[in-house]
Structure 1
């Protein structure tokens, strides 16, 4: 039977010619001209002296909108080129050009933010009440407030310059060491050297002997490099702490909470709700151990399958399932997914030469999106495809909003994607062909809940304790191992037989320089989307309009205001989080019932 949908995406409608596109080069030339124009305008920006003195600021914002779209367009296209063919050397050269353009734009924004700070407060407030500027009031206030909370602009620029070969260099050092690591492995009589990523994939192997063997070898590899990784993590934290000290920031959670546009009280309410409802997940871990013939699970058993689910779904069937299930909740979601499949916005072909993983990227000037993944017909592939289409739909409903108001934080970035994935995962469980398939699919769902409620909680607990000790001096590798193991014991309620003390070195998120505490936003996004899903199940008829309105506001509101306005809930209280957690508990209860002896 001929396939209806082509699994290779079409990039020609954006810029024709791939990495040698003359259309792209012409577009970049226009962008560079506009960047120069923006630089001149910002440097020559006369500070407004009265509230109706909006002309110059209107002109700058108009140009900001244009340049932001252009940079987004180029960035997305280059990302697609490098993903679809890792051997495209001309695309790699374009990555350097993209970085150059982004750095120039960031420098302009830094100067503009400092000028915002210099405007008299009464004049500033009056400016934002003008009809042409009111739509930008949230983002402009946020930029001004953040600039006021930092060092003088010259010192911040110096800090950023020094960070290239200091702060960021430690993160790059970590990447360089990990890239050269691996383990020796033998399979079917063939000896080979596995990369860290290849080895980690074996931790979900059905054979426990294989899981234990690879875990032991990975742990040995991480321990051999522990002294180097203790250097990277100590110096990354040290740079941050010194930066905070000079900015007079006393709380290490200030930056990650501010970055995610949320209150610290909300964060604590979420973790408190999770900590109060871990008992069912401990019961799941015990039952899973029984099914695997163990008294207790070890760390390397957490991803072990409890049953065989070899059912495959071809690409056309996956498209049909996703569109059909989306339509149960939102005709808009279904129509968007149909458009994405019809217009070849998805790169899903299972071929060599592609980068691993999946993503969704938006083209703000073309108002299109592109989804990247490698589809091989597994249930996990179907979930990933739905997940990325959820991201695409989020962008789709925001396309007519000012580009400056489309920049949503990491914790709400996963809202639409997780919601879309949940719709399809739930349908898969309900439509399972056998009891064993249902058990396998439920186990896969619950594994995700355990990861968000326990694994990520352990990361948060570890990082909190580590920063407390790092303030007093360097923390040894042995002590880091101890802190990690205790955090895991606490987060998993002592439910495991063995833990992973070297996790602080093997988890990339502890060594990236984007933002510290790169952990809790994942749990927030997961639960926030589940709260929306619970609301959808209760109010199907009025849901779509409410959902679109919420997504459209994600880039121009704090998360507490967003939830209050669109869901009528308070995120700084436990009730919302408990309602979301209950959906996960329902999965556990069904799993326990189906697996009773």
Structure 2
């Protein structure tokens, strides 16, 4: 295998065991759960439909508890089906099972659809009277988050139609994207590689391997870009139609509303990062070009190791130790929860054909536990990915105490724990390093990760905004999408690159554009927020108050989305509406680049 694709030196790479959910697709418990849920959902509708406004506070609380129990069962089923599918998207039997579960669960949940629609028709003053009941008051965050969509709610029959058609619409196009990408193979150095393996070679120490991988990626993706463009055009048009019916002002308005973040906060982040491009990404890549003895970098050298990097591979056991120790120095409780993921088969680690090529943490349901998916290849960047996803896992584990309906976190805060976990791990490695060459490599790696998290994700967000806006005037050709892609990449990464046409179709493999439109700014949001949060931690630690800070931090994670970001961050003295907040967050990246310039 070329470069680092031989995993023999990484130790045993564990796979997850989904039997904590169900033993398999034919599990009798799965069939029984579906049958029971179907009967109970129909009975629930008979019992409550058309009657919510007349219920007392205690009666409404009881109805919500019943709804929560039913929804948790259906979510557990779909978590199992989704995780099984992510582990092998190339298996047609698993694909059929996933589609079958999607259709079955959608059919059952139609009985429950009325519930949130009727909650939104209750008048504010009447709901406030009901909320005097303490049992109902416990569900106040759920009611708040449900009712923010009141102005955009459609008639019941339209909501039902959209709900039922989802499995044959957006969900089906998303599945087509996943399976098509999973089926692609990239022939490099005599090996047929998946997209994840081919992309990993862009970090090879061998410039010839980087170039070949980049050009093969471009060739294969380019041959398939019309299919990806059709998927993108269809999904954007589908979203535009629904947004228009729901009277959203902009294509990104629904995402901001769901994230419980004001448009002006996101706009301020976008503006701050774009203004900082010259002093961040442009400046760093000009510096990197000098390290390579060049005026400009070839685009395939963007994530290349520094000259002289020995490209040591980090075995899985060492990666676990690095992350655990970093977590433990901050909070023994955080390390204790994280260790459960290592002690139990809750992580799927090795890359393999058909597997989802990315990395994620899935919360499943409070009655179970989260699962993590990685494609671990032994690089320092892979260790940081482990720290990132384990941060999600710890967060999701803590949120279970809020119950199924209130355990989720807005995307803007959902990235806080993951990026904070990365920062803890990086600081642990940096503090243990005395060799100047190693320190330089670590700092450069962190700067590149931060640029990928902040600059690149904001560029992705800008790319999406332009696509969704321009699509309203008609379908976009693959060539036009690639033009927009190159314009945004050139603006964000700067003049220090030599581009080739082979880079034009690279937009095609980025799943966030398909799965979660406008999700990507959450990464930049989380990174800038964590930079400020970590600075507050350092200040507290310098005063001997590090343990107290860690306790407050864990309490913040445990709150999930029950509190608005203003209330969650107030104990740390942070205010996202402060115009200077984002500049402070970007200041840490600026300081790292300055340190590199002095080495």
Q: Does 1:544 align with 2:545?
A: no
Are the aligned partners of 2:399 and 2:560 in contact in 1 as well (CA < 8 Å)?
no
Q: 1:581 to 1:155 in 2, by over 3 A?
A: same
State the partner residue of 1:234: 233
State the partner residue of 2:294: 294
State the partner residue of 1:528: 529
Whole-angstrom distance in 1 between the partners of 2:512 and 2:18: 35
Are the aligned partners of 2:361 and 2:372 in contact in 1 as well (CA < 8 Å)?
yes
| CA-CA distance at 1:298 after TM superposition | 3.2
5 Å matches for 1:264-275? 264-275=263-274
State the partner residue of 1:451: 452
5 Å matches for 1:209-288? 209-278=208-277, 279-288=279-288
| CA-CA distance at 1:508 after TM superposition | 3.2
Match of 2:51 among 44, 47, 67: 47
Q: 1:226 to 1:533 in 2, by over 3 A?
A: same
Q: Does 1:157 align with 2:156?
A: no
Q: Does 1:324 align with 2:325?
A: yes
| CA-CA distance at 1:419 after TM superposition | 1.0
String of CA shifts for 1:407-431, please: whole Å, max 9, x gaps: 1122322221221121112211222
**Tell me, what secondary structure is at the counterpart of 1:44?**
helix
Q: Does 1:501 align with 2:504?
A: yes
TM-score, normalised by the number of residues in structure 1: 0.85
Whole-angstrom distance in 1 between the partners of 2:318 and 2:218: 41
State the partner residue of 1:423: 424
| CA-CA distance at 1:112 after TM superposition | 0.9
State the partner residue of 1:360: 361
| CA-CA distance at 1:473 after TM superposition | 2.2
Residue range with higher mean Cα deviation, 207-216 or 450-459: 207-216
Q: Does 1:570 align with 2:575?
A: yes
Whole-angstrom distance in 2 between the partners of 1:217 and 1:241: 34
Are the aligned partners of 1:6 and 1:344 in contact in 2 as well (CA < 8 Å)?
no
**Tell me, what secondary structure is at the counterpart of 1:133?**
helix
Q: Does 1:584 align with 2:589?
A: yes
| CA-CA distance at 1:234 after TM superposition | 2.5
Residue range with higher mean Cα deviation, 403-412 or 34-43: 34-43
State the partner residue of 1:466: 467
String of CA shifts for 1:165-216, please: whole Å, max 9, x gaps: 444444445445545544544x2xx4x5544444333322233343334333
Are the aligned partners of 1:534 and 1:583 in contact in 2 as well (CA < 8 Å)?
no
Structure 2 unmatched runs, 5+: 1-10
Are the aligned partners of 1:550 and 1:566 in contact in 2 as well (CA < 8 Å)?
no
5 Å matches for 1:89-488? 95-96=98-99, 98-100=101-103, 102-104=105-107, 106-175=109-178, 177-179=180-182, 181-185=184-188, 187=189, 190=190, 192-278=191-277, 279-306=279-306, 307-343=308-344, 345-346=346-347, 348=349, 357-362=358-363, 364-373=365-374, 377-432=378-433, 434-488=435-489
| CA-CA distance at 1:81 after TM superposition | 5.3
Q: 1:91 to 1:218 in 2, by over 3 A?
A: closer
Are the aligned partners of 1:391 and 1:416 in contact in 2 as well (CA < 8 Å)?
yes
**Tell me, what secondary structure is at the counterpart of 1:323?**
helix
Whole-angstrom distance in 2 between the partners of 1:526 and 1:433: 26
Q: 1:35 to 1:578 in 2, by over 3 A?
A: farther
Are the aligned partners of 1:266 and 1:573 in contact in 2 as well (CA < 8 Å)?
no
**Tell me, what secondary structure is at the counterpart of 2:148?**
helix
Whole-angstrom distance in 1 between the partners of 2:221 and 2:372: 34
Q: Does 1:57 align with 2:56?
A: no
Whole-angstrom distance in 1 between the partners of 2:353 and 2:227: 34
Q: 1:105 to 1:592 in 2, by over 3 A?
A: farther
Q: 1:298 to 1:572 in 2, by over 3 A?
A: farther
| CA-CA distance at 1:69 after TM superposition | 3.5
Q: 1:407 to 1:104 in 2, by over 3 A?
A: farther
**Tell me, what secondary structure is at the counterpart of 2:248?**
coil
Q: 1:31 to 1:129 in 2, by over 3 A?
A: farther
Whole-angstrom distance in 2 between the partners of 1:79 and 1:139: 25
| CA-CA distance at 1:8 after TM superposition | 4.4
String of CA shifts for 1:233-290, please: whole Å, max 9, x gaps: 2232222222222222232221121222211111111122223333143221111111
**Tell me, what secondary structure is at the counterpart of 1:118?**
coil
**Tell me, what secondary structure is at the counterpart of 2:361?**
strand
**Tell me, what secondary structure is at the counterpart of 2:281?**
helix
Are the aligned partners of 1:367 and 1:399 in contact in 2 as well (CA < 8 Å)?
no
Q: 1:177 to 1:383 in 2, by over 3 A?
A: closer
Q: 1:373 to 1:156 in 2, by over 3 A?
A: same
Whole-angstrom distance in 2 between the partners of 1:545 and 1:272: 33
| CA-CA distance at 1:67 after TM superposition | 2.6
Whole-angstrom distance in 2 between the partners of 1:237 and 1:88: 28
Residue range with higher mean Cα deviation, 211-220 or 246-255: 211-220
Structure 1 unmatched runs, 5+: none
Whole-angstrom distance in 1 between the partners of 2:385 and 2:116: 38
Q: 1:301 to 1:70 in 2, by over 3 A?
A: same
Are the aligned partners of 1:345 and 1:369 in contact in 2 as well (CA < 8 Å)?
yes
How many residue pairs match? The answer is 579
Q: 1:56 to 1:531 in 2, by over 3 A?
A: same
String of CA shifts for 1:521-561, please: whole Å, max 9, x gaps: 22212222333222221223221221122112232234344
Q: 1:12 to 1:501 in 2, by over 3 A?
A: closer
Residue range with higher mean Cα deviation, 239-248 or 354-363: 354-363
Q: 1:118 to 1:144 in 2, by over 3 A?
A: same
Whole-angstrom distance in 1 between the partners of 2:95 and 2:468: 37
TM-score, normalised by the number of residues in structure 2: 0.85
Q: 1:174 to 1:13 in 2, by over 3 A?
A: closer
Q: Does 1:26 align with 2:58?
A: no
